[in-house]
Structure 1
């Protein structure tokens, strides 16, 4: 009886936790089909706000811009984060290695306001220097500035994810490949990269989500014609709740859910394939 009560209490706490996390999102998705212009008053089922959303060119342009910036941010963050992880986990200790690790992970604890302001001052200074040297014009506020700023703070998260996976990686596999004549580059692409692929996907999805969700940093470095979706939504909500926002949020939730499920399926498949290869290798050696 006590075990049954404990089991029921566990399921109750789990249900309350999931309800607290996902019930507001579910309510938002339900109200996206509300016919009333008042986002919090239900007056009947309708999909007209989805039609209004697809006719709102400014909202669609902001969404497309955010998706492009998030994609390229995640891609570059994974490339740089992988290189930083290699330095932290595979290179021999050098005098400034601890400083290098601290600088890489500093954006994890740095307030977004400080990061956004520092990036803005950097871009303004870069524009002045480039203009003074006669090398052209660099816009301190624009799409390129948003991309650089997002890569700057997402690389810390990606590095932590990939470094933790590379720390657990058995170095004897890499050493065995080098003993057989493979150079370090070949070992990385044929041995290390396939093993850490799930971590790369996790880091990519994390960086994509952080970039797509950012408001504070982007508000400092965005300019005319470079308004991202979070800034657009934030400015719209300040004027009052709009049912179009509910429809947009529903589409974004479904899109992100599909990407996360696909990434999870791919990582599970890659992990099973890796375990199967390791078992076959152990059987052959045995």
Structure 2
């Protein structure tokens, strides 16, 4: 008689625990989205369906400026971190194993393991010294801080893509007298494209949603959407915050869907 294979899903209580986890994760989010259509002025008292808070958010000059700054910051950080992550991934995978390779891998992914507040404090001190020395207070500090934090998020899907790519095509290109640059331009880069796109989208989402590092590094007048919403907690909150949160949630979901589809694309 054949033995039945072990399956975690068949354990007693597994379904109940799974349902409980999904309830805890998503019921608060669904509640937030529901109350973003509230016609009243309070966050939790339903007074009818309305789109007034979405209209108010779109017409709010502070929200417009924060949204544009968030998109610019996220796009810049995604571009810089993806370029650096691509170079790091190629340097650590497209060559024979060498001593210290695992140390380099751990170092690149260190921001994933260190509490974000520690990274934020370190960046605050580092950029504080530079600000005092140069007097410059521009947005580049935030761009560089977000780029540094997003590198490991972009690095992981790019490295995974590289590790799944066969070296035979690159070897064939070299045998046909292609230069290293031509091999990279016409062989490696097109095959690596889905991984780069996935890493860029993931870095964009991480930068767009970041609060802690932004709050520590930003200068006066450099509010992003997450820090703007955090600031509203100190004032009388309205469902406008729910509407902004729902918009951010929708954008994040679209980007994560794109990340999943691109990451699954076959060469």
What is the CA–CA distance in structure 1 between the aligned matches of 2:95 and 2:145, rounded to whole Å?
Answer: 27
Does the alignment pair 1:37 with 2:41? yes
Counterpart for residue 158 of structure 2: 162
Counterpart for residue 5 of structure 2: none
Q: Equivalent residues in 2 for 1:160-199 (5 A)? A: 160-199=156-195
**CA distance 1:45–1:104, shift in 2 (3 Å):** same
SS of the residue aligned with 2:45? coil
What is the CA–CA distance in structure 1 between the aligned matches of 2:103 and 2:17, rounded to whole Å?
Answer: 43
What is the CA–CA distance in structure 2 between the aligned matches of 1:62 and 1:242, rounded to whole Å?
Answer: 18
1:213 shift after superposition: 1.2
Counterpart for residue 89 of structure 1: 93
SS of the residue aligned with 2:177? coil
Of residues 254-263 and 93-102 in structure 1, the stretch that sits farther from structure 2 once superposed is: 93-102
**CA distance 1:184–1:201, shift in 2 (3 Å):** same
Does the alignment pair 1:57 with 2:53? no
Query: How many matched pairs?
Result: 260
User: Does the Cα contact within 8 Å between 2:36 and 2:239 map onto a contact in 1?
Assistant: yes
1:94 shift after superposition: 5.7
What is the CA–CA distance in structure 2 between the aligned matches of 1:261 and 1:143, rounded to whole Å?
Answer: 29
Counterpart for residue 223 of structure 1: 219
Note the aligned Cα RMSD (angstroms).
Answer: 2.7
What is the CA–CA distance in structure 1 between the aligned matches of 2:113 and 2:192, rounded to whole Å?
Answer: 26
TM-score, with length taken from structure 1: 0.81
SS of the residue aligned with 1:249? helix
Higher helix share: 1
Structure 1 residue ranges without an equivalent (≥5): 132-136, 275-286
Match of 1:68 among 61, 66, 72: 72
Structure 2 residue ranges without an equivalent (≥5): 1-8
What is the CA–CA distance in structure 1 between the aligned matches of 2:33 and 2:209, rounded to whole Å?
Answer: 18
Counterpart for residue 236 of structure 1: 232
What is the CA–CA distance in structure 2 between the aligned matches of 1:245 and 1:128, rounded to whole Å?
Answer: 35
**CA distance 1:102–1:12, shift in 2 (3 Å):** closer
1:19 shift after superposition: 4.0
**CA distance 1:95–1:13, shift in 2 (3 Å):** closer
Of residues 107-116 and 256-265 in structure 1, the stretch that sits farther from structure 2 once superposed is: 256-265
